[in-house]
Structure 1
Amino acid sequence: MKRLDTRVLHYLLLIALISAGNTESAGAQQPVHMDSGTVLLENFEHDTTGKLPHKWYDRDGNKKLINHDESFSKNYLYKVDEEGDNKFLRYKGSRAKHINLPLINKDKDNIYNINIFETPILSWKVRAHKLPHNAREDDDDYNDSVASVYVVFDMGRVAFFKKVPKTIRYTWSSTLEEGSTASKLFGNQQIKVVKSGNEDTGKWITFERNLVQDYRRLFGDDPPRTPMAILVMSDGNSTGSWVKADYDDIMLKPQKEQKAIEVK
C-alpha cells in the first residue's frame, strides 16, 4: 500500500483548525478595495524585508507567524524580499509547510467583505527560479511543487472519518501538463495545473482563474460566497529538491476582461 503523504495529514489538521476558526482575532486586518472593485488580499508592501509576512498564519492555523518564537518560525522558509520599490514573498528550501491567510476569522466574520460572485477572478503573481526535480502533484511519493496557491472553501465529503473543506489547488508543476487536473482526499482537494516545466523561470507571471467557474466545474455545484482562507506552499522534500519561488499581488477581481497569463 502506498504510504499516506504526511502533508495530507498536516493538511487535514490545518483545514480542521481553519474551519473551527483561528485562535487569534484577524479583525485587525484592513481590507483594501480598489476603485475598480478589486479586493487586494496581499501585496506584502507593509511587511518588513527579511521577515515573515505579518498577516499570515502558521500551518495549523493557530496564530500569526510573527507571533511565534524564533525556534518555531525558523521552520517556515518564507521571507519578505524586496527589489527596487516592490516587496514580495520568497521561498527558498525543501521543507513542506503551508502558510495561510484567513478570509473568515474565529467569529465567522467576513474579514475582507468578499463575495466571489461579485469578484470571482483570483489573480496572483509567481516567479519560479528552481523547480523540484521530476515532481508531480498527483503522486504522494513525488508531491512537490515550486509554487501552489490553495483556495479553501466550506465543508466537503467525509475523508479519514471527518469532514474536510473543499479546496482548489492551483499549481506550477514540474511535470504535469498545463491545464490538467487531479483529485485527492476523496475529491475534496481538486488540483489544477496552471503552468508546467522550466519555461519562463526567472520571470514574473500573472495567473488569473475564475473561482466560481472552476468550483462549478470541479465540484459540480455553486461555491459559498466567501472562501475560508488562501494558502500558499512551495516545497521539494519528497524529491529531495531545493526549490526557490516568489509570490506577489494576490487579489480578487470583478469579471470584466479576464487576462491571459501575463509574463514579465
Structure 2
Amino acid sequence: MPQSLLTYITLLLIVLCAHSPLSAQDKSEAPKKFLVDDFDNETVDDLPEKWFNQKGEAKPITYTGDLRATYHYRIMEEEGNMFLRFEGKRGKHLSFPLRNKEHLDIYETPILTWKWRIHEYPAGANEDDGDKNDAAASIYVAFDLGRVLFKKVPKSIRYTWSSTLPKGTELSKFYGNQKIIVIGTGGDKQGEWQTFERDIVADYKRLFGDNPPAKPLAILILSDANNTEDIAKADYDDIYLKSAQN
C-alpha cells in the first residue's frame, strides 16, 4: 500500500474516533443518576404512593381513618410541577427504602440532591435541645445498623433546616449513631425553592470515621413542630442520587 494512502487512512480513523458519539471511555464516565422521587405522576391532595412509614413496614397511602389523618403530607401541583408538601404540627417520618433497589451504589452516585421550599418554620426550635427538637424540613440517609446499649439503631445523617441553629452546625445524637448537619436557618430565602447537594459518602466517612455500605437502608423525610407547639410548612421535590460529575 502506498505510504500516502496509508497516511490518509490513519488520519481518517483518528478523525472518526475523535468524533464518535460515545467512545468506550466516555461510556464508563457517563453521568449516572438514581431517582428517589420527583413526585410526578402522583395524585394531587393524596399521600405519595412510593413512600412507607418510618420502619418501612407499610405505605401510609393505604391507611384509613384516624391513622391516615396523622400524616400531614400531600401532593401538590403548581404550574405543572408536582411536589410534596408538609403542613401541620405533629410530623411523622416518610421512608423510601433503598436496600432492595437494584443498580444502586452510592460510590457511583454519592451526591444526594433535593429541593426544599420553606414556608413556615417552628419558632424557637433547636435540634440540640430534646424539648425543642423540631424542624421545618429534614432529609435523612439511614445506613447500616449501629448500637445503643442493647438496641440496634440505624446510623444516619440528618440534613435539617433549623429554626435557630446556624448553617453548618453539626451535632451528634443517639450515642453517635445520628449525625445532624444544618443546611439552612430560619427565614433565609423563605418561600423560594432552593436546591441542595451533599456528598453522602464523604459526609459519612468524615462523621463516622469509616466507609459506608454501598447501599443505604433508606431515605427519610420529616417536618415537625409538636415540641414547640407551632406549625411547620415546607415543600419537597426532586430527590436524586447522582454521580459527582453530573
- Shorter-chain TM-score bucket reads 0.7 to 0.9
Aligned to 1:123: 113
Q: CA deviation at 1:160?
A: 4.5
1:158-177 matches, within 5 Å, as 158-177=147-166
Contact 2:31 / 2:245 at 8 angstroms: preserved in 1? no
Q: CA deviation at 1:53?
A: 0.1
| Deviations, residues 90-116 of structure 1 (Å, cap 9, x unaligned) | 000010211111112xxxx3x142101
Please, what is the CA RMSD of the aligned residues? 1.2
Q: Which amino acid aligns with 2:226?
A: N
> Matched residue of 1:223: which SS?
coil
Aligned to 2:13: none
Aligned to 1:100: 95
1:78 aligns with 2:73: yes
1:9-88 matches, within 5 Å, as 36-88=31-83
Structure with the greater alpha carbon radius of gyration: 2
Separation in 1 of the partners of 2:135 and 2:159?
A: 10
Q: Which runs of 5+ in 1 are unaligned?
A: 1-34, 258-264
Separation in 2 of the partners of 1:146 and 1:123?
A: 18
Q: CA deviation at 1:139?
A: 0.9
Q: CA deviation at 1:61?
A: 2.3
- TM-score normalized by structure 1? 0.80
Q: CA deviation at 1:74?
A: 0.9
Contact 1:59 / 1:98 at 8 angstroms: preserved in 2? yes
| Deviations, residues 31-86 of structure 1 (Å, cap 9, x unaligned) | xxxx7311111000021000000000123322111222233111000000000110
> Matched residue of 2:189: which SS?
coil
Q: Structure 1 pair 82/179, CA: closer, same or farther in 2 (3 Å)? A: same
Which residue among 224, 231, 239 is the counterpart of 1:250? 239
Contact 1:79 / 1:89 at 8 angstroms: preserved in 2? yes
Identity level (%) = 49
Runs of 4+ in structure 1 deviating by more than 6 angstroms, as ranges, are none
Separation in 1 of the partners of 2:149 and 2:76?
A: 39
1:214 aligns with 2:209: no
> Matched residue of 1:194: which SS?
strand
Aligned to 2:215: 226
Separation in 1 of the partners of 2:191 and 2:218?
A: 28
Contact 2:51 / 2:96 at 8 angstroms: preserved in 1? yes
Q: CA deviation at 1:143?
A: 0.2
Aligned to 2:14: none
| Deviations, residues 151-210 of structure 1 (Å, cap 9, x unaligned) | 000011x21521211000000101111011001100000000011121101000000000
Aligned to 1:184: 173
1:139 aligns with 2:129: yes
Which residue among 82, 104, 122 is the counterpart of 1:114? 104
> Matched residue of 2:175: which SS?
helix
Separation in 2 of the partners of 1:170 and 1:66?
A: 25
Q: Which runs of 5+ in 2 are unaligned?
A: 1-29
